[in-house]
Amino acid sequence: MAVAAALTATGAPAAHAAKKPTIKVADGVTQPVFSYQNAIREFVRVQSSVDSDGDGKKDLIRVDIIRPKETDAGLKVPSIIDESPYYDNLGRGNEGERKTYDANGNPAKFPLFYDNYFVPRGYAVLQVDMDGTTKSDGCPTSGGASDVLGGKAVIDWLGGRAKAFDAQGRPVKATWSTGHAGMIGKSYDGTLANAVAATGVKGLDTIVPISAISSWYDYSRMNGVIWFKGEEDGLAQVVDTDPPAKCAAVQQRLTQGQDDATGNYNAFWNERNYRTGPIADASRVHASVFAVHGLNDLNVKPSQFSTWWAALAKRGVPRKVWLSQYGHVDPFDFRRDVWVDTLHQWFDHWLWKLPNDIMKQPRADVEVGPDQWATQSDWPAPHTRQLSLRPQADGSLGLKAGTGVGTYSDTKQAEDDAVSDPTTAKPYRLAYTTPPLKTDVRLSGTPRVSLKIKLDKPTANLGALLVDYGTDTRVNYLGAGSGVKTLTTQDCHGESTATDDACYYKVVTDTVTSDVNVVTRGYLDAQNRTSLSHPSPLTPGKTYTVRWNTLPQDYRFKAGHRLALVLIGTDADTQDDDATGAAVTVDLAGSQITLPVIIGGSLSTPSFSAQQKWRGPTHVVLPKQPRQFR
């Protein structure tokens, strides 16, 4: 329903619609005029286009719905959708909320605040059990076609293009729907939003992917190096709460397809590539995108966002982004009030078509220090320049090409050992540092490493760490809460019932004061230097030039700090891969790291103060973190 048809310019109901229920708009946003207590709570089962469990029947996708009761009296509303595989296992949000149901099987509690806040403002909220999880049919496929097409079917049903059935198996239509929908969610949920949008499905007007995947290969691998072994079958086991035998055959296909033996890209991974894949492709996205990502997220790495963002920009997709210094954290848990207000404006603009100023605001919000946010017109920051820094024989990092060689071995090493005391020679790393910086240097974008090397074996894992040496207080993204601490007090956003309250524990930023910080990381299996699908082993003793990107970052190296490039082999803190033991010889004259930077707020060439000796010790907070899928 178009807002103009329901409202006058002053927000009063139009005369011809006076007898019909309408939304209320004030101060440019929808107002909470519909009862949450009396809202309709129901479920349907939408027929997907696939049969993921091979039982001869197309999978039925469980959709739990809450909508204003006025939608049974002529009000048509848009839908906010959170599709998730986690509703009956890991739960949703910082407090791990799960769905609950009443005696008739209808939803009683919807996790998270979306229903409490948006239903009173004239939205339906749909929580969809991903294909193969909770109360949906089928088998989960860790990002595969059935995961994606189940969500697409829900959008099609809202638009009258797919079938659904009620609890008695009778066909049911979404007569209350405007046909306009948005998808939102963190991690796997946001990943599904990306994927469904990339099918180009009609009626999906916007998505809000939070810490979301855009390519599952890059979730489990980086340039042939293995982040996680057993990832795809392991995750499917976590989210599938059916008896193991039901999906055993699917599990076996996941185990084989992920190919942990090589780390190579193949057809399995291509199916799960939403940037250029056969099921989902960023070129088909017409929905607007409001992305949120932690630049220190070591679960869903920030390259998942940056590559997706670049593809959307190329297509001219309307978009907005928040980039934080946290790890795998929802913005509801680090910038709560601003997040709720901004999300409200976003959905009002894209789903109710209200003419607010959300798209006139700066496109990017970037956290530049703990709880310090800046806005800019885009990301990466405009006016960056490419600065190439080159390793020198004396262990410094400078502007001119170096001379000589450095040698280290590909062993599996913890990062705290690799970055401690950069002036001391260690057999498993090479470290090169600038003198103390005379002015601030801001990195914004994706660094690129280029090394001229030779090996004594056919391959090696090559790693590059960009490091900040200098005492500072930073977001403790490696801590137990990925940068946040949960308090014992609550605040509320929306309306509550006895079974579903709108109140959540407050959070604060967790900081740590340290002398050194690994700013970003990047890895390459040398035999994948020219192709991720077809490895080319190196000839021992022969010289090669290899290039790869690190993870993206937006970070300020402060004046007086030293910037460093540390070259390593296999990273014990981030990789499940095995080291090769190869000796890596680096020709310094042909090696560099190139950084997109802004120097001291200008584009001038940086200058460094006189070289100073390392004064150690360091303090590196880098505990081995268990992987948290949600």
Q: Which residues participate in catalysis according to the annotation? A: 187, 297, 328
Contact 503, 601 (CB under 8 A): no
Amino acid at 367: E
Three-class DSSP labels, 281-337: EHHHCCCEEEEEEECCCCCCCCHHHHHHHHHHHHHCCCEEEEEECCCCCCHHHCCHH
| Per-residue three-class SS string for 389-457 | EEECCCCEEECCCCCCEEEEECCEECHHHHHCCCCCCECCEEEEECCCECCCEEEEECCEEEEEEEECC
**Is the Cβ–Cβ distance between 275 and 215 less than 8 Å?**
yes
How far does Cα 479 stand from its chain's mean position?
Answer: 19
Q: How far is residue 118's CA from residue 10's CA, in Å, rounded to a whole number? A: 22
As beta bridge partners, residue 562 has 469
Q: How far apart are CA 215 and CA 143, in angstroms?
A: 9
DSSP type of residue 272 = T
- Amino acid identity at 68: P
Report how far residue 417's alpha carbon sits from residue 428's, in angstroms, rounded to the nearest whole number.
Answer: 9
CA distance 168 to 161: 21
d(CA 23, CA 34): 8
Question: Quick check: helix, strand or coil at residue 343?
Answer: helix
Number of H helices, E strands in the chain: 11, 33
Instruction: Classify 259 as helix, strand or coil.
Output: coil
| Distance in angstroms between the alpha carbons of the first and the last residue of the chain | 35
Q: Which of 572, 559, 622, 620 is nearest to 421 (CA)?
A: 620
> Are the CB atoms for 606 and 439 separated by under 8 Å?
yes
